[in-house]
Structures are given as C-alpha cells and as structure tokens.
Structure 1
Amino acid sequence: MKNILAYSLLLILTSSCNQNDFSDTEMYFLTDKASYRVNDNFEITVIVSPRSGEKKIRIKKNLDNLKISFHTTSTELGFSQELKKHFIEGPSLTTDESEYIDEFTISKTEPFKKTFKGLISESKESIILEIHELNIIDSVAKSELLVNPKITIKGNFHTIFSAKEEYFTPKDIEILIK
C-alpha cells in the first residue's frame, strides 16, 4: 500500500511539473525600435509561442519566474539585472495557487505577449535603463557604448515548481550616445 501511495504522489508531482514548463516553445523579444538615444522611452515585448498546437503555460502573477538581462557586446561581462531570486519548492497540495499563478493556453495564432515600458537616461559616466514594472534599474558605462553601441537583451522563464529554465532568443538593440 505504501508503494502505491508513493508512486501516486510521485506521478502527481511529476505531471504537475511537466505541465508547467516552457519546453517546445519559441520565446523571443520584440522592441519598438532598433536604436535608441538618451531620454528615449522604449518597449520590450515578451513573446511565448508553442512550436505546434496549443500549450498551457503558468506564469507567476508577480513575474517572479521571468529573468531579463542586458549585456554590452564590447565586453564579455557586460551588465545584468536579475528580477528576483526564486525559491524552488513543490506544488502545494492544500492551497489555491490561482492567487499567485496565471495559467495561459497559448497557440501560434494567440501567443503569450506582455509589453514592458522603460526609459533610457544618463548620469555623468553611465547610461541607465529602467523598467519600473519589473523593478529593473541597470546601467552601463558610456565608454563601453562609445566602443560598440550594441546591447543584447537576454532572458528566460523558469518553471514554477522546478529549476528548469527555457531561454529567449537574444535581441540586439543600439543605444546611441553621441
């Protein structure tokens, strides 16, 4: 009897984690422009689409399972911003998760889309990118952008109840400071 119960619980946990991932999806960013200047507003749209058919994805309402980072292409290290550290745990067997998690059924014709608005500003030695909704305030040295004005936007979604991550196709933009 214990073995049957253990196998049943394992099956429930495994199936709930598998329904919750971003495997077999195409994930990419769209921006409203290819190049920006200081004091420009910008938009980054997150797109998640299944490779075929329909798929259910779950995203935390506070977007805690989304990470976005910005990297200069003139250096290997660049700079990055992680939205929030996440604590990985199993699904609750007693609480209603809908308070914290949104479930979306996506298809090729109706992918998940979310647009974030931001601002590019400057300080004496840095260019600052801000996306208030995601609590991102990040900067890069002006000297790096003078060498090469390209910045690569990278990101990933991790599944709600596991450490599995699926990555977005990186997107390049330019920030012109001259």
Structure 2
Amino acid sequence: MDFDKETYQSNDNFELTIKVYPTEAEKTIRFYKDLNNINISFSPKAEEFEFHQELKKRFIEGPPLFGDDSEYIDEYTISKEKPFKKIFLGTISESVNEIVFEIPELNIKNKIDKNFILKNQIILIKGNCRTIYGGKNKHFMSKEIKVELE
C-alpha cells in the first residue's frame, strides 16, 4: 500500500494505491468487479486502541468452481514487473470528537477518537486480500501516515 503523501490535515483528500504481486512466476488472479475482496483498516498507532473496518471481501485464484462467473469477476494476469494496481480516492474529515477516514469505492468508513490522535498523530493502515476457495489472506505491507488536526 502507498499513499500520495506522508502527512495529511484533518480535512484532506488522499490516494491509496494497492499492488498485488505474485510470489514467484506470472499468475492469473481474479477479483470481484466491485473489488469485494479487499480489507483495509485505519487505526491509531498504539496497538491497544486498534480499530478495524472488516469488509466482506474476497480474492480469487484459480479456475471457477461453478461455471462461468465472468458477470461478477474480472481476471488479471500479474507478474513481478506488472502487478495488479488500483488507486482508491478517500477523504479525511473531522467532527467534534472524531477523525473519519472514508474510501467510498470500498464502502469504508473508519472513525478514530480525536483523543488518540492528540496523543499520537501516527495512523496505521493495514490491508489484505482474501481468497475465496482457500480462505487464505494475502497481506499488504502496512503503512503509516501522520494526521495533523486543524
């Protein structure tokens, strides 16, 4: 995962880029058309205050088990030189007591209490793709960003 900046204000827009690489040789992967297989969470840096946005998302590898599912699935051939790459646009907004991280395309809305950010402005972003048939998670590299309150 990558962000377009390292530091954001509490009322900024952001770009989050995910990349999926094969572990070895070229590979075919498949995603639901609505990218219904990506988990992303925003949480304060301190582990004990971790928040999660659990999305019912699935990542598919291999052939379909139940016939033609191309109506719901897009297929991509990836290699180390040409990974699957997707940019998501999001917003950071501030209410009286919370900072809100939203990625509309993934239906994500994470809220973090402002008190946590006043103590430590570092936000930890975690994510993964989940396989359908094997139930395995493929984790993205975690990323930290800084959020400054206005």
TM-score by length of 1: 0.76
Equivalent in the alignment of 1:144: 116
> What is the identity, as a one-letter code, of the residue corresponding to 1:119?
T
Partner amino acid, structure 2, of 1:65: N
Residue 42 (str. 1) matches residue 14 (str. 2): yes
The one of 80, 95, 101 aligned to 1:129: 101
- Aligned residue for 2:42, secondary structure, equals strand
Deviation readout 1:57-92 (Å, 9 max, x if unpaired): 111112122111112113423211112266xxxx54
Is the alpha carbon distance of 1:139 and 1:168 closer, same or farther for their aligned partners in structure 2, counting shifts above 3 Å? same
1:158 Cα shift?
1.1
* Runs of 4+ with deviation above 4 angstroms: none
- In structure 1, list runs of 5 or more residues that go unmatched: 1-28
Match of 1:11 in 2: none
Q: Give the match's secondary structure for 2:29.
A: strand
How do residues 3-152 of structure 1 correspond to structure 2 at under 5 angstroms?
Answer: 29-84=1-56, 91-93=64-66, 95-152=67-124
Alpha-carbon distance, 1:136 to partner:
0.8
Query: What SS does structure 2 have at the residue aligned with 1:109?
Result: coil
CA distance in 1, matches of 2:115, 2:132: 39
2:48 is paired with a residue whose SS is coil
Return the index of the structure with the highest Cα Rg: 1
Whole-Å separation in 2 of the counterparts to 1:131 and 1:97? 26
- What does residue 176 of structure 1 align with? 148
Residue identity matched to 1:31: F
More helix by share: 1
Partner of 1:163: 135
| Structure that is richer in strand per residue | 2
* 8 Å contact kept, 1:59–1:160: no
3-state SS, counterpart of residue 143 of structure 1: helix
